[in-house]
Amino acid sequence: MATTAVIDEKEKRNLWGGGAEPLRASYGKLMMWFFLLSDALSFSGLLITYGLSRFAHNAYTGKIADFVPSGNYWPVPEKVFTHIPFTHNPYPLVFVGIMTFILIMSSVTMVLAVEAGHRMDKEEVLKWMLWTIIGGAAFLGCQAWEWTIFIVGDKGRMIADGTTFFGANLHHNEYGPTLFADLFFFITGFHGTHVLSGVIINMIVFYNVAIGTYERVGHYEMVEKVGLYWHFVDLVWVFVFTFFYLV
Amino acid sequence: MGHGHHTTAHAPQVLPKDKEKIKKIWMTALILAVVTAIEFLLAFTMERGSLLTSIFVLLTFVKSFYIVGEFMHLKYEAKTLIWSIVIPTLFIVWLVVALLVEGNAILYFRNLWQWYAGLAK
């Protein structure tokens, strides 16, 4: 008995005594994980604020088909986000569905880049990184379009001072209470900033792969780290999609 | 093995594709796409209410499980690493409950105030 205890103690000290990787992940990867954890808390703060604001306003109780925007109750998202480019017919949530699909696909190409990196296959890493960058840029383009539609507005709504207000800014919007548009800008904006920085970091890593930096270093761990960040951005969008657009 | 095929002195050995791994990646992608499609379908076919909201929340967690577990590879990391990421996120659950209850209270007092203001007129 005594001997086993001594051996356990020794092994424990070896694992956490330095020179080993007790979590079997490198310093860089660990720090990326803990950064993402803190970023998850930031996004939670924003999305929970949305929940609080929504619960602090009256809910729309009528039939969805008869929905008319008003400052007195929270809007039904599928009645707000109905536009897709190049047509004026209403297609509720289709555009945001396409955006979700784009981001999921770019996440897939990112994992494929990481997989290629494990095999030291530079050409494949380059190919999949490029697709990831294209996917990210496409998502950003869609988001720019979405914001433009939201800001320009459609039918307009009479506001308190008796004038008809079109679209949205931080003070007024035609869709519902002020906070609805404010949170739209803050939440999708904060997420969009993450996508933008992700695309820029992806481009830098792509450049480094192309000039053979990681081949010289002997591993493609940087692709893995930027991959973690990119998947996290995708993960946040999954939550934004549900809690901003679906519920 | 295979060292004779090197054309340049510094190019490292490129390993062959792991078919199983790549298949798994695409399967995960398929699951994510299908779950999103189901959510989309339910948004237009089901009556809005707490049941639909619960289904959405559940499906969102299914998707996050696949993204974090498979794509971010957390499922295959050391147990200690998994728990040091997962346990802190549990605090978020508390914040959700606390602030939603708070939101309800704000609505209650807002409507109460409007009712009073109406009486005073």
Instruction: Please answer yes or no on whether B33 and A215 come within 8 Å at the CB atom.
Output: no
Pseudo-torsion of CA A20, A21, A22, A26, nearest 10°?
170
pLDDT value at A37 more than 50: yes
Between A162 and A237, the higher pLDDT residue: A237
Is the Cβ of A91 closer than 8 Å to some Cβ of chain B? no
DSSP letters spanning A180-228 = HHHHHHHHHHHHHHHHHHHHHHHHHHHHHHHTTHHHHHT--HHHHHHHH
Check whether B8 has a pLDDT greater than 70: no
Q: Tell me how far apart the alpha carbons of residues A180 and A98 are, in angstroms, rounded to a whole number.
A: 22
Q: How far is B54 from chain A (nearest CA, A)?
A: 9
Q: What's the pLDDT tens digit per position in B10-38? A: 667 899 998 999 999 999 999 999 999 99
Residues A104-114: tens digit of each pLDDT: 999 999 999 99
Closest Cβ–Cβ partner in B11, B67, B103 for A231: B67
* B71/B84 same-domain check: no
A209-214: long-range pairs with CB below 8 Å, 24+: A209/A122, A209/A125, A209/A126, A209/A129, A210/A126, A212/A122, A214/A117
Structural domain contains residue B6? no
Whole-complex ipTM = 0.88
Same domain, B63 and B23: yes
* Chosen from B28, B40, B79 to mutate, greatest number of chain A CBs within 10 A: B40
Q: Does B7 reside within a domain? A: no
Cβ A110–B85 below 8 Å, yes or no?
A: no
Asked if the Cβ–Cβ distance from B18 to A246 is below 8 Å, we say: no
From B76, B91, B109, give the residue that closes a domain.
B76
B11 and A44 within 8 Å at the Cβ level: the answer is no
Query: B63 with B36, same domain?
Result: yes
* Element holding B86 (H helix, E strand): helix B79-120
Model confidence band, residue A8 (pLDDT cutoffs 50, 70, 90)? low
Is the model's pLDDT at A1 over the cut of 50? no
Q: Are residues B70 and B84 in the same domain?
A: no
Q: A104 and B44 in contact by Cβ < 8 A?
A: no
B71/B36 same-domain check: yes
pLDDT tens for each residue of B85-114:
999 999 999 999 999 999 999 999 999 999
Answer whether B96 sits within 8 Å of A51, measured CB to CB.
yes
Residue B30 and residue B66 in one domain: yes
Paired strand residues for A58? A73
Beta strands A73-74; A58-59: pairing state: parallel
CA distances to A88, A106, A212, B101 from A83, rounded to whole Å, are: 7, 23, 44, 34
Q: What's the confidence (pLDDT) of residue A10?
A: 65
- Print the domain residue range for B26: 16-76
Using DSSP's 3-state secondary structure scheme, residue A157 falls into strand
Q: Which of B18, B53, B67 faces A238 most closely, judged by CB atoms?
A: B67
Delimit the domains of chain A by residue range.
26-246
pLDDT band at A3 (very low <50, low <70, confident <90, very high): low
Q: Could you report the per-residue pLDDT of A213-225, keeping only the tens digit for each?
A: 999 999 999 999 9
In a domain, B44, yes or no: yes
d(CA B38, CA B55): 10
Residue B59 inside a domain? The answer is: yes
**CB pair distance less than 8 Å for A115 and B18:** yes
Summarize pLDDT for A67-96 with one digit per residue, the tens: 999 999 999 998 999 888 888 888 889 999
B21 and A111 Cβ atoms separated by less than 8 Å: no
Shared domain for B59 and B91, answered yes or no, is: no
pLDDT of residue B4: 45
Nearest to A119 among B14, B48, B57 (CB): B14
- How many structural domains are present in chain B? 2
How confident is the model at residue B1, as a pLDDT?
42
Same domain, residue pair B67 and B89: no
Please check whether residue A170 is in contact with residue A182, taking contact to mean a CB–CB distance below 8 angstroms. Answer: yes
Mean model confidence pLDDT for chain A? 92
Q: Are residues B46 and B96 in the same domain?
A: no
C-alpha pair distances (Å), B114 with each of A15, A162, B105, B117: 64, 21, 14, 5
Q: Which CATH superfamily is domain A26-246 in?
A: Cytochrome c oxidase, subunit III, four-helix bundle (1.20.120.80)
